[in-house]
Structure 1
Amino acid sequence: MDNKLGLGGSCYWCTEAIFRSLIGVEKVEQGWINSFENNEWFSEGVCLAFDKNIITLADLVEIHLFSHSSTSNHLKRDKYRSAIYCNSIEQQTEVKGVLSVLQKQFEQPIITQALLLNEFKLSSEHYQDYFYTAPDRPFCQNIIAPKLLNLMERFKNKVNTPLLNKALK
């Protein structure tokens, strides 16, 4: 269980593409996610499995914070909750520690919450792997691709560059 994690912050198509592009992330599914702390409120998110010998929980948290507006409490936060959904109290404690350390890299307070994952509902099958199944879609080119280029620049040693380069052609 400590190699699984839920993430929310921006649209699930973007979040899915970002984490699907990382070395050590084995599986990413997108859909609607909620927490035990607020189990009536679902927001867009992803659930992923990762190889902790290749990519650490701290790496995933850092990439998450820098790949969405983790310090902005904008009007769409009901649909795009900035959160890391943990599978255990131990993982939640570790994530809170990582968030505390990473706060030093941000001028504004991080609003991203470490929550306990309650429920995850997959989005429709035809939306899964949205970017990599058709990277030429206008949304993919105009919204997702720039985020992936930023990811490559900031976290180049964590990115599956051949996979991403093929999709960005």
Structure 2
Amino acid sequence: MNKVGLGGSCHWCTEAIFQSIEGVIDVEQGWIAAKAPNEDFSEAVVVHFNPAQVSLHNLIEIHLLSHSATSSHNMRAKYRSAVYVYNKTQYTQSIRILAELQIHFANPLITQTLLFDKFEASATHYQNYYKKDPSRPFCQNIIQPKLDKLKRYLNHRS
């Protein structure tokens, strides 16, 4: 089993998206800090996955499609667009994958590849936010449309 950190949107959304992916074993929701120069914490998830079922390439591709990966809006400090890697091999792979996927975007990707440093989990009552009650207004209005978009994309790819 491998793991990678992903951030760029609300961690409730990101958690729900990656919990829906076959080959993802676990998703830890919270805040990630990278090693210098981006040491501040930002909302993100740690995705534990089986690379025999889902590749790092697929996870990064889904990640880019599930948030504004080309938009440098005023909430980027809280929602840093990043792939947090755990070793030099993942770092090199992530850089290559982002470069390969750039062709699918009209504007430059702002998603960074950063070395993972620290993780702080969200409070227990926020964990599995979507799974606990998908009928919540936030889930219906924000998370469900992202899940629907992902499902359409994955069905189109097959």
TM range (shorter): over 0.9
Aligned-partner Cα distance in 2 for 1:45–1:38: 17
Could you give the per-residue CA deviations for residues 43-88 of structure 1, whole angstroms, max 9, x where no partner exists? 1000010000000000000000011000000000010000000000
Aligned-partner Cα distance in 1 for 2:27–2:138: 19
Percent same amino acid at aligned positions?
Answer: 52
TM-score by length of structure 1 reads 0.90
Structure 1 runs of 4+ with >3 Å offset:
none
Q: Give the residue type in structure 2 aligned to 1:144.
A: I
Contact 1:32 1:121 in 2 (8 A): yes
The corresponding residue for 1:82 is 81
Root-mean-square deviation over aligned CA pairs? 1.4
Structure 2: segments with no counterpart, 5+ residues: none
Contact 1:39 1:118 in 2 (8 A): no
SS of 1:136's equivalent in the other structure is coil
Structure 1: segments with no counterpart, 5+ residues: 159-169
Aligned-partner Cα distance in 2 for 1:84–1:6: 6
The corresponding residue for 1:23 is 22
Could you give the per-residue CA deviations for residues 90-140 of structure 1, whole angstroms, max 9, x where no partner exists? 101100000000001111000000100000000001100100111011100
The corresponding residue for 2:111 is 112
- Give 1:38 deviation, angstroms: 3.3
SS of 2:117's equivalent in the other structure is strand
- Give 1:157 deviation, angstroms: 8.2
- Give 1:155 deviation, angstroms: 1.5
SS of 2:97's equivalent in the other structure is helix
TM-score by length of structure 2 reads 0.96
Aligned-partner Cα distance in 2 for 1:138–1:107: 32
The corresponding residue for 1:138 is 137
Aligned-partner Cα distance in 2 for 1:22–1:39: 28
Q: Does 1:42 align with 2:54?
A: no
Q: Give the residue type in structure 1 aligned to 2:100.
A: V
Question: 1:143-154 residue pairs with structure 2 within 5 A?
Answer: 143-154=142-153
Aligned-partner Cα distance in 2 for 1:11–1:40: 19
Aligned-partner Cα distance in 1 for 2:130–2:27: 12
Aligned-partner Cα distance in 2 for 1:40–1:86: 14
CA gap 1:157/1:19 in 2 versus in 1, 3 angstroms: farther
How many residues align structurally? 157
Aligned-partner Cα distance in 2 for 1:62–1:115: 17
